[in-house]
Chains A and B, each alone.
Chain A
Amino acid sequence: MKDIILEVKNLSKRFTLHLLGEKMVPGFHKVSFTLKRGEFLGVTGKSGSGKSSLIKCIYRTYLPTEGEIIYYYKNGNSVDLATCSDKEIVDLRRERIGYVSQFFYTIPRISCLEIVSQALIQQGIDKNKAERKAKSMLSRFLIPENLFGAYPSTFSGGEKQRVNIAQAITRKIDLLLIDEPLASLDKKTKDIVLKEILKLKKRGTSVIGIFHDEKELRSFADRILVMENGKGIKIYENHN
């Protein structure tokens, strides 16, 4: 199991809405796949097909209804992300698993430089070094230096998205979950962001990324999972 980081087995998610007379809303049903270390798995499909729900379950923002998500640590130990304690998830999120949501949740009165450097400081990197790394990533993402001290709530959609991604990928992690990272970016910044994500992958981080454009995915993903109506209808190796 040394080369595998994640094993998703028969994972399902249904929502029960107690306020609407116990109405059941399906998320996705019996999805299975494995993810290798350093592999880029692209997930694609129409909106509403269950893509975001799937990665939210892996990050445990959603509680899976059934199935397993076995996460393998580098030392061979494993843990089921579907059922392990909240404390274990908190530790994994701080140290090993990153998630970039579709929407950026800005924190009042925290500058974009702080947002990116705090993620590093939390991993135990000292403040000066964290700020240096954060500045360098923000510059590569074409965030103007005079905005480093500004609060992202006033940024444009594309700038917010780049800060959001920068915060997740500047630190060293083993698994990156990323939901439509290129939406709302222009061609130039798209290429830059993608390059940085692929750099992370080259250094050994496994990536599960949602992209609605399957053709786009074929230019960089190792494997592609296609979802439709809450089911993984096919998964294929991508040989570019």
Chain B
Amino acid sequence: MKEPILKVEGLTKIYDSTIAVNSISFALYQGEILGIVGESGSGKSTLLGCLYFDITPTSGKAYLNKENRSIFELNSQEKRKLRNFNMGMVYQTPHLGLNFDITSGGNVAEKLLMANWRNYSDIRKRLTTLFERMELSLDRMDVPLSTLSGGMQQRIQIAKALANNPEVLFLDEPTSGLDLSVQARLLDLIKKIQQELKISTILVSHDLKVVRLLAERVLVMKEGRIVEAGLTDQILEDPQHPYTQLLVNSIL
């Protein structure tokens, strides 16, 4: 692993009286998948939301690509540009990340349009590549999104996230709520694409088994803080923090 592509320092998000994310610092290295685990309510999704500009953090900094200005200090136009050109996000459920009033292909094309793709045939070509990549049949491209299964909709989300060749990919529980076989297929797909394209990825999951498959390093979050950080096999086989020991001993 070379340099960090993303450095987060003291990221904090406070809602009224709750501290959702409490002074989180970490680095994401070029080409790695970094796992973030913890139970619901631990602040994992809020953390990703801040980095993808869905949520405005209360304080803290994040540096992308050795830029010396934190991404949170950018103006809204610069933020939009970063989000459209450099980042991809896959939300926990298709409803959060996709527009159900348009076709499945239209959803992916939307991301391309935002990244200034203008030529119709180029967009069609890119869609075809992405659909093939995601093992989605091409005749699903022009049908309403709502006619697709949950697993397919999740693959549309991934296709959308990858459409602009992002440098950083955020995955928020990308496989929860799916059948085991669909889940395995999706995980395998994510792994292959990540290895091929070497996209630096943050994977948020409450499922340690999912993280074990994909991530080499992992952060464990509890009540907004990182309680332990380590190599994935070390976290699973020799957890240090009482909370991590509880988590590991709760794996079915």
The CA-CA distance from A56 to B249 in the complex, in Å, is: 19
Whether A144 sits at the interface, judged by CB under 8 Å, is no
Whether B237 sits at the interface, judged by CB under 8 Å, is yes
Given A18-B245, A90-B216, decide whether A109 and B184 contact each other with a Cβ distance below 8 A.
Answer: yes
Interface residues of A (CB under 8 A from B): 15-19, 56, 60-63, 86-87, 89-91, 93, 107-110, 118, 121-122
CB of A87 within 8 A of CB of B249, answer no
Tell me which residues across on chain A come within 8 A of B242, comparing CB atoms: 18-19
Given A63-B240, A109-B185, decide whether A90 and B217 contact each other with a Cβ distance below 8 A.
Answer: yes
Given A107-B213, A108-B184, decide whether A86 and B229 contact each other with a Cβ distance below 8 A.
Answer: yes
The CA-CA distance from A62 to B216 in the complex, in Å, is: 15
Which 8 pairs between the two chains have the least Cβ-Cβ distance? A18-B242, A108-B184, A109-B188, A62-B238, A61-B233, A90-B216, A18-B245, A61-B237
Look across to chain B and name the residue whose beta carbon is closest to the beta carbon of A91.
B1
* B160-177 near A? 1/0 per residue, CB < 8 Å: 000000000000000000
Tell me which residues across on chain B come within 8 A of A63, comparing CB atoms: 230, 234, 238, 240
- Tell me if B's interface is mostly helix, strand, loop or mixed: helix
The CA-CA distance from A61 to B234 in the complex, in Å, is: 4
Q: A229 to nearest B CB, angstroms?
A: 20
* CB contact between B195 and one of A18, A61, A121 (< 8 Å): that residue: A121
The CA-CA distance from A89 to B240 in the complex, in Å, is: 18
Tell me which residues across on chain A come within 8 A of B240, comparing CB atoms: 16, 63
The CA-CA distance from A118 to B242 in the complex, in Å, is: 35
CB of B1 within 8 A of CB of A87, answer yes
* B218-241 near A? 1/0 per residue, CB < 8 Å: 000000000001110110011011
Q: A41 to nearest B CB, angstroms?
A: 22
Whether B252 sits at the interface, judged by CB under 8 Å, is no
CB of B188 within 8 A of CB of A108, answer yes
Look across to chain A and name the residue whose beta carbon is closest to the beta carbon of B241.
A18
Given A60-B231, A61-B231, decide whether A86 and B237 contact each other with a Cβ distance below 8 A.
Answer: no
Tell me which residues across on chain A come within 8 A of B96, comparing CB atoms: none
The CA-CA distance from A107 to B212 in the complex, in Å, is: 10
| From B32, B188, B238, residue with most partner A Cβ within 10 Å | B238
The CA-CA distance from A16 to B188 in the complex, in Å, is: 35
